[in-house]
Structure 1
Amino acid sequence: MTYVVGEQCIKCKYTDCVEVCPVDCFYEGENMLVINPDECIDCGVCEPECPAEAIFPDTEDGIEKWAELNREYASQWPNITRKIDALPEADAMKGVADKLDKFFSPNPAKQD
C-alpha cells in the first residue's frame, strides 16, 4: 500500500504533508502535489496533515485513476522537500468539486 494525492489538492497545494514526510516522496506540479508510490513507505503521517483532505490510501475505492496520475507525474515533476506557501486561491478552492477537468495542470512547478 501507498498513499495518493487526489483531486482536492488541485489549485490548493498546501505543503503541510511535505514537511512531515520522512522519505521526501512528494513531487510538485504547477497547481498540485503528487506522491511517488515507489518511494512512499506507507507511514501515513502525511494524511492527517493535509488541510484539504486530499491524501488517501491507494486501497480506497475509486482511487485507481489518482494512483496512476501520481505515478505518472512523480516521474516528471521536481521533488519538493520543504514547506512552501499554498497557492493564493487555496482557501477559496478547498472543497470545490470536479477540479480535474477544469483546473488540473500537467506542468511542473516553476523552480526558484
Structure 2
Amino acid sequence: MTHVVTENCINCKHTDCVEVCPVDCFHAGPNFLVIDPDECIDCTLCVEECPVGAIFPELDVPAGQEVFLGINAELAREWPVLTSKIPAMDDASKWDGVPDKLPLLKRSLDEG
C-alpha cells in the first residue's frame, strides 16, 4: 500500500511530510507535492506531519479524491525528488480547506 497526497495540498505545499520521510518518495511541482507509489514504504509518518491533512493511505482516500491516486503516480515520474523541507507557499493558509482546487494544479514545472 502507498500513501497519496490529495487536493488540499494544492497551493499550500507544506513540506513537513518530506522531513520525516525515511525514503525519497516525495516529488515537488510548482504548487503541489506527490508521493511516488513505487518508493513509499507505508510508514505513515507523513500523515500526521501534514498540517493541512492532505495525505491518506490509498485505501482511505476520501470520496471524490480518488483521481489523486493516478495524479501522484503520474507526476512522481515527471517532477524532481524533494528530500528536505522548504517553505510553504506564501499564501498557503488562505488555501487550506478551499474545495475544488484540482483545476488550479500546475502540472508543468514551467508553470512555477
TM-score (norm 1): 0.92
Q: Is the 8 A contact 1:77 1:109 kept in 2?
A: no
Deviation at 1:108, TM superposition (A): 2.6
Percent pairwise identity? 52
Alpha carbons 1:18, 1:83 under 8 Å: kept? yes
Q: 1:37 corresponds to which residue?
A: 37
Q: Which amino acid aligns with 1:20?
A: V
Which residue in the other structure is 1:83 paired with? 85
- Unpaired runs of 5+ residues, structure 2, are none
Change (3 A) 1:109 1:47: farther
Does 2:2 align with 1:2?
A: yes
Rounded to whole Å, the distance in 1 between the matches of 2:69 and 2:3 is: 8
Unaligned runs of 5+ in 1: none
Q: Find the counterpart in structure 2 of residue 69 from structure 1.
A: 71
CA positional deviation for 1:36: 0.1
How far the C-alpha of 1:65 sits from its partner, in A, is 1.2
SS in 2 for 1:84: coil
Aligned counterpart, 2:108: 107
Greater displacement, 15-24 / 62-71: 62-71
Deviation at 1:24, TM superposition (A): 1.5
Residues 59-94 of structure 1: per-residue CA shift (max 9 Å, x gap)? 025343111000000000000000000000101111
Q: 2:96 aligns with which of 94, 97, 100?
A: 94
Whether the 8 Å contact between 1:26 and 1:80 is mirrored in structure 2 is yes
Asked whether the equivalents of residues 28 and 109 of structure 1 are also in contact (C-alpha less than 8 Å), the reply is no
Residues 25, 88 of structure 1: alpha-carbon distance in 2 compared, 3 angstrom cutoff: same
Which aligned segments of 4 or more residues in structure 1 are displaced greater than 4 angstroms?
none
Number of residue pairs aligned between Structure 1 and Structure 2:
110
* Alignment check: 8 A CA contact 1:29 1:109 kept: no
For the 8 Å contact 1:9–1:33, the answer to whether it is kept is: yes
